[in-house]
Structure 1
Amino acid sequence: MIKIGFIAAHNSIEKVKKLKTLFQDQCEITFIPYQEIKEIKDLYEQNHLFYDGILLGGKLTMYFLQQEFTELPTQTFYLEITEGDFYKNLFAIQHQQKDLSFSRVYIDFLHEYPDSMGLQDVLGEDELPYSFECEYTEGIYERTFQRHLSLWRQGKIDLSITRFSNIVSRLNEAGIPNMFIFPSEASVLEQVQQFINELQISNLQDNQWAIGIITIENLKDQSDLDFKQVLLHKALLEFNKNTNSLSVIQKQHANFEIITSNAELKNLTNDFTNCSVIQYLNETLPFRVNIGWGIRTTLCQTKKAAQTAIKKAESNEIPCAYVIIDNEDVIGPLGSDSCLHYSNKIDPEIEQLSKTLEISNLYIQKIMAVISKMQTNELTADDLAYHLGHTLRQSNRILNKLEEKGAAKTLYRKQEKLRGRPKKVYKIDFRNYRQNKNH
């Protein structure tokens, strides 16, 4: 069952305690309250690994965490005040206090919304409530309360509307008429259900099968194969003893097959950037191996993807690892500076481009991947040879053909040394080529 940790101010948690029973068939919710902003970072670090997702009481908590973390390591979602909730509360206020002017109201969260929750469209400039920029750091509760208090004492406001439950008691003590706005029950239920749905989809993806096929380089004969397979099997068992990441390790004729999950493979490859399995094996064994990883929705599709991936690895000049993920994206060789991410899917536009340029669909996909990786469409034959694993002659042939067809042009020749032949730099522009052809 999905586990959700709900980090929020103590008073906000009181508003949503019934969530625990309402969603008990879909998830397990644990409430993690805080009193002070400074507690949030520690609470998140101490708890996020134990949950599939972290739910936050509001935007303030999310803002604070985003300042502390470059990237939140666990799926994190916060409860938002919808426009429906906002205007429902404003209508209730207007109904109870018919003579109240919104120009004499302070709303301490209105600055978070570029259009003031749409109020700028319905109220005149002199009718808008008070709203001030706010720094989301420690002391925000005190600063916000003091702003309410100052406006009240100056006689500028008749009502305070706040999103911060932790200052409500202080507003009451100061005698300031106030309203605490929190998402309605219907809105909370809808938002939590959306979060649960997202977590379920994510879990399905993480639990997909991932298969790795490992082949041995430069085999001489059957006795050589038998000897190396024994060493490889032992090394895989040692690796798994240290990581506990492989569900199955089994010999398949001349290779080994290892099975894990999508989530584990992401860890083993650092999100498909390098491969700790092949690093360990090639450092441990007296011979080299290749690995092809596949991730698909069914076991049969996963195995086919792994078989395609191992062929790509074996065609590389040096032992390496490739991965083919569910949407048919190819990534590899992992851990290499020449690693590319491109698609195996048949794109109608690229297929048409392939016909007119008389260059294979795959080459075009790879060239596009090189351009994306290098963040420039100005390439030399050396650049292409390095990233595609080709000879200079092959790369020159491709670039010359692109130039002949009008999809590339020579910009200048780069003289890297005082001696030797200068190198051509080609500017490749598939987009303009397609547009010109269409016209």
Structure 2
Amino acid sequence: MIKLGVITAHHSIFEIKQIEPLIQDQCELTFIPYRLIGEIQELYERNHLFYDGILFSGALGYNILQQKFTEFTTPTYFLDIPEGDFYKRLFSISNSNKNLNFARVCMDLISEENNYMGLKGVLKEEEFPFCLQLEYTTALYERAFQQHLSLWNQGKIDLVITRISNIVNLLNQAGIPNIFIFPSKESMLEQVKHIINELQISNLLENQGAIGVVTIKGQENMSDLELKQIMLHKALLEFNEKENVLSVIQRKHASFEIITSQSDLKTLTNDFTTCSVLQYLNETLPFHVNIGWGIGTTFYQAKMSAQTANNQAKSMDLPCAYVITANEEVIGPLGDDTCLHFTNKVDPQLQKLSETLSVSILQIKKIMALISKLKTNELTAEDLAYQLGLTLRQANRILNKLEDKGAAKISYRKQEKLRGRPKKIYKIDFTEVSIS
């Protein structure tokens, strides 16, 4: 059952309640009413974590929040008025008021932002209604009402068509004829069903299996491996007693397999930026471990990705964690300033490039990711060694291969001290390589 928190003006609750019986087997609506615009942010912050999604009754609340947050941590939506609904209402209003001149109507729901709901292509300039220039601030209600009132007092309008439910009472008290316009029952149902479907898919993705493969660093040469694996098992159980996010912890021949969900893994890794399991184990145990996390639409895919991620972690000098997502994005080392994002998918062109340069596909992907991360294609051997976890000799060998094949050129030499060799700065451009 999807849970939607509906942040809405009191006046709009009745409208939205019309669709409640039609979705009650799929979705539970909880109404969170506000009277003042200044209440919106506090209501959102206080409630959003308790729902699968937040729905605003209109664009007003949504746009107010967008000024405060760069992104919404909880999926957030608003009910829109489709042009079909808009024109049906205009036809109905026109049909009920045969002598109505739209040039003497003020509409606060049309603006340049929504292309005036297409009215510019329907009405002549002299027939066009008044529209308001409104800013999304806490004073919007008062300013909208005052602009309507000013036009009314000047004798310029006979009717207000408004989308702002909280000014309807003010318009009535001022004796200004008005019509409150809201999405039709049919379009509300369609929009909410779309939201339910989107959230159901999101929940399925969040509950995808995630597997971690934990290995002891350097275990291939250990005589006391059995003892250390017992200690590792105990530490994993203790971690889970505190966090309660690992559904399965099982020992394999040379590793431990831990099972959780994608949503819990995102929590454990702070959205794939650090790894609390790795940090706990390396602080608790007298030896170090590596962790590879894998996410997949099947447990087999997650397991294979976790093994690949663990192998990637083992290739680094320091103990670390990597994750491979369901779309095969490799992220790691988590929590390190050398962390890179690159794809695990093999592209035919990349395969040819690898063969031409005699450099592994993985190293090429890492170099591409490094260029993207640093926002420059000018690198030194020291940059490459540090960021990719290589020795200086390995980094120089790769750069020499790139230079030989035309993928890198020495752009200049940097002398950091008065004595010693100047550092070579390589400008890398894989597009310069001729691939047969």
TM-score (norm 1): 0.94
* % identity of equivalent residues: 64
Q: Which residue of 1 aligns with 2:233?
A: 233
Matches within 5 A, 1:336-375: 336-375=336-375
Q: Which residue of 1 aligns with 2:259?
A: 259
Query: What CA RMSD, in Å, does the superposition of the two structures yield over aligned residues?
Result: 2.0
- Match of 1:410, SS state, is strand
Instruction: Please give the alpha-carbon distance, in whole angstroms, between the structure 2 residues aligned to 1:377 and 1:12.
Output: 55
- Match of 1:149, SS state, is helix
Q: Contact 2:313–2:319 at 8 Å: present in 1 too?
A: yes
Q: Which residue of 1 aligns with 2:53?
A: 53
- Cα deviations across residues 268-316 of structure 1 (Å, max 9, x unaligned)? 1011111011011111111111111111111122111111111111111
Q: Which residue of 2 aligns with 1:313?
A: 313
Q: Which residue of 2 aligns with 1:300?
A: 300
- Cα deviations across residues 51-92 of structure 1 (Å, max 9, x unaligned)? 111111111010112223332221111111112222222222
Task: Kindly provide the amino acid, as one letter, of the partner of residue 156 in structure 2.
Answer: K
Deviation at 1:189, TM superposition (A): 1.1
Task: Kindly provide the amino acid, as one letter, of the partner of residue 252 in structure 1.
Answer: K
Deviation at 1:114, TM superposition (A): 5.0
Q: Which moved more, 1:254-263 or 1:410-419?
A: 410-419
Deviation at 1:193, TM superposition (A): 1.0
Mapped pair 1:146 → 2:132: no
- Match of 2:28, SS state, is strand
Q: Contact 2:62–2:78 at 8 Å: present in 1 too?
A: yes
Mapped pair 1:172 → 2:187: no
- Match of 2:224, SS state, is helix
Q: Which residue of 2 aligns with 1:425?
A: 425
Task: Kindly provide the amino acid, as one letter, of the partner of residue 25 in structure 2.
Answer: D
Q: Which residue of 1 aligns with 2:43?
A: 43
Q: Which residue of 2 aligns with 1:135?
A: 135
Matches within 5 A, 1:196-215: 196-215=196-215
For the structure 1 residues 213 and 220, does the alpha-carbon distance in structure 2 shift closer, same or farther, using more than 3 Å as the test?
A: closer
Instruction: Please give the alpha-carbon distance, in whole angstroms, between the structure 1 residues aligned to 2:331 and 2:139.
Output: 46
Q: Which moved more, 1:385-394 or 1:141-150?
A: 385-394
Deviation at 1:37, TM superposition (A): 1.4
Q: Which residue of 2 aligns with 1:123?
A: 123
Deviation at 1:222, TM superposition (A): 7.4
Q: Which residue of 1 aligns with 2:19?
A: 19
Task: Kindly provide the amino acid, as one letter, of the partner of residue 255 in structure 1.
Answer: S
For the structure 1 residues 220 and 374, does the alpha-carbon distance in structure 2 shift closer, same or farther, using more than 3 Å as the test?
A: closer
Q: Which moved more, 1:258-267 or 1:131-140?
A: 131-140
Instruction: Please give the alpha-carbon distance, in whole angstroms, between the structure 2 residues aligned to 1:211 and 1:258.
Output: 6
Q: Which moved more, 1:345-354 or 1:166-175?
A: 345-354
Deviation at 1:220, TM superposition (A): 8.0
Deviation at 1:223, TM superposition (A): 6.6
Q: Contact 2:381–2:395 at 8 Å: present in 1 too?
A: yes
Q: Which moved more, 1:122-131 or 1:297-306?
A: 122-131
Q: Contact 2:353–2:435 at 8 Å: present in 1 too?
A: no
- Cα deviations across residues 112-150 of structure 1 (Å, max 9, x unaligned)? 625222222333444332223222121211221111111
Deviation at 1:221, TM superposition (A): 7.4
- Match of 2:409, SS state, is strand
Task: Kindly provide the amino acid, as one letter, of the partner of residue 247 in structure 1.
Answer: S
Q: Which residue of 1 aligns with 2:391?
A: 391
TM-score (norm 2): 0.94
Instruction: Please give the alpha-carbon distance, in whole angstroms, between the structure 1 residues aligned to 2:109 and 2:419.
Output: 66
Corresponding pairs, count: 436
Q: Which residue of 1 aligns with 2:281?
A: 281
- Cα deviations across residues 82-110 of structure 1 (Å, max 9, x unaligned)? 12222222222333334433332221132
Structure 1: state its 5+ residue gaps: none
For the structure 1 residues 51 and 389, does the alpha-carbon distance in structure 2 shift closer, same or farther, using more than 3 Å as the test?
A: same
For the structure 1 residues 296 and 398, does the alpha-carbon distance in structure 2 shift closer, same or farther, using more than 3 Å as the test?
A: same
- Cα deviations across residues 338-392 of structure 1 (Å, max 9, x unaligned)? 1111111122332333344443322221111111111112222222222221222
